[in-house]
């Protein structure tokens, strides 16, 4: 049953696994980076990614109700060290291969690298999540060739400069226009509209006020007619609003997830799968009862 808006999500074909968005889906975050803002290095032993530890995290998230695992190898926090495509593939691919082989879950690869998109699809990944909306050289074609669903996220600038006094004429209109333009670029590259998911990119080149305007405007973004993915999990807007440090932002992230679902979000990206799955299930159950 739809929540506060009329949009009822489709079923996406993710490399043979169905992602049914008639109710909101939970996407668990797995960072293979040593320096992510929220869980940086938690899967590392010294300077090496511990793949068994990463698999244990993946297994746990699936048991907790994740429909999708989003595996990434580039930290996009402001000021993070850049990675080469080869470094990114070295971090991400072994885990993508093992998760695809051992777990019954849709694997999303969080990347802007054309090389990794192709490699991950060959390894069995079911979705691409690109914070640069396929803006990098070769990404449109590589993503088109995979045949997979793709999340196009809005970011102003790049991770290094995105928080340098971001400005918009009207953040909701500008983000919607950017996403619509990227949809057209995708269609021109041979990616059907039905494969696309949109994300306003909370925290990516936005002030607190911009994030709040986008949260308020989610129903209008849902009217673009494509599923919406949102990620608030542990982000700094929580600290800006209620003063919580990064390790204390779980409960506030749940409140934001529920609000987003009520405003039309179809996929919630989160570090805390069990709690988010329950919070979203509660929002859906209440909506079903009117």
Q: Which residues are catalytic?
A: 235, 269
Output 100 or 162, the one with its CB closest to ligand 9MG: 162
Is 15 one of the binding residues for ligand 9MG (CB under 6 A)?
no
List alpha helices for the chain, DSSP H.
51-63, 85-102, 114-123, 139-146, 171-188, 208-216, 218-222, 236-242, 250-262, 273-288
* Residues in region 78-107 near ligand 9MG by CB under 6 A: none
Is 153 one of the binding residues for ligand 9MG (CB under 6 A)?
yes
Is 269 one of the binding residues for ligand 9MG (CB under 6 A)?
yes
Helix then strand then coil, % of the chain, to nearest 5 = 40, 15, 40
Select from 91-99, 120-128, 197-205, 215-223 the region that touches ligand 9MG (CB under 6 A). 197-205
Cβ atoms of residues 26 and 67 within 8 Å = yes
Please tell me whether residue 165 adopts helix, strand or coil conformation. coil
Q: How far is the CB of 289 from ligand 9MG (least distance, A)?
A: 30
Provide CB contacts within 8 A for 12, sequence distance 6+.
Answer: 18, 19, 21, 127, 149, 194, 195, 197, 227
Output 97 or 199, the one with its CB closest to ligand 9MG: 199
Is 37 one of the binding residues for ligand 9MG (CB under 6 A)?
no
**What is the Cα–Cα distance from 91 to 33, expressed in whole angstroms?**
8
Is 72 one of the binding residues for ligand 9MG (CB under 6 A)?
yes
Question: Token digits for 8?
Answer: 């009822």
Select from 85-93, 178-186, 198-206, 275-283 the region that touches ligand 9MG (CB under 6 A). 198-206
Is 199 one of the binding residues for ligand 9MG (CB under 6 A)?
yes
Select from 44-52, 84-92, 161-169, 195-203 the region that touches ligand 9MG (CB under 6 A). 195-203
Cβ atoms of residues 154 and 204 within 8 Å = yes
Overall size of the chain counted in residues: 290
Is 149 one of the binding residues for ligand 9MG (CB under 6 A)?
no
Cβ atoms of residues 87 and 71 within 8 Å = no
**What is the Cα–Cα distance from 85 to 290, expressed in whole angstroms?**
48
Q: Judged by CB under 6 A, how many residues of this single chain contact ligand 9MG?
A: 13
Select from 7-15, 51-59, 199-207, 217-225 the region that touches ligand 9MG (CB under 6 A). 199-207
Binding-site ranges for ligand 9MG (CB under 6 A):
72, 76, 110, 129, 131, 151, 153, 199, 201-202, 229, 231, 269
């Amino acid at each position: 049953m739809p929540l506060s808006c009329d949009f009822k999500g489709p079923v996406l074909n993710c490399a043979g696994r169905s992602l049914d968005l008639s109710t909101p889906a939970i996407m668990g975050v797995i960072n293979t980076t040593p320096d992510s803002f929220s869980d940086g290095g938690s899967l590392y032993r010294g300077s090496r990614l511990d793949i068994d530890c990463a698999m244990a995290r993946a297994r746990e998230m699936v048991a907790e109700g994740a429909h999708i695992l989003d595996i990434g190898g580039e930290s996009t926090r402001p000021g993070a060290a850049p990675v080469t495509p080869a470094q990114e593939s070295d971090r991400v691919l072994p885990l993508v291969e093992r998760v695809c082989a051992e777990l019954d879950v849709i694997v999303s690869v969080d990347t802007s690298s054309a090389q990794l998109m192709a490699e991950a699809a060959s390894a069995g990944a079911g979705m691409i999540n690109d914070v640069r909306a396929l803006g990098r050289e070769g990404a449109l074609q590589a993503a088109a060739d995979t045949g997979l669903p793709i999340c196009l996220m809005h970011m102003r600038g790049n991770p290094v400069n995105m928080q340098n006094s971001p400005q918009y004429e009207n953040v909701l209109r500008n983000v919607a226009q950017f996403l619509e333009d990227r949809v057209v670029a995708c269609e021109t590259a041979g990616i059907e509209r039905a494969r696309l998911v949109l994300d306003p990119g909370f925290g990516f080149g936005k002030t607190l006020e911009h994030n709040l305007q986008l949260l308020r405007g989610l129903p209008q973004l849902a009217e673009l007619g494509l599923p919406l993915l949102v990620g608030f999990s542990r982000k700094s807007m929580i600290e800006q609003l209620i003063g919580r440090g990064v390790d204390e932002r779980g409960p506030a992230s749940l409140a934001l997830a529920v609000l987003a679902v009520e405003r039309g979000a179809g996929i919630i990206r989160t570090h805390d799968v069990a709690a988010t799955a329950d919070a979203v299930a509660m929002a859906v159950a209440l909506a079903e009862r009117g």
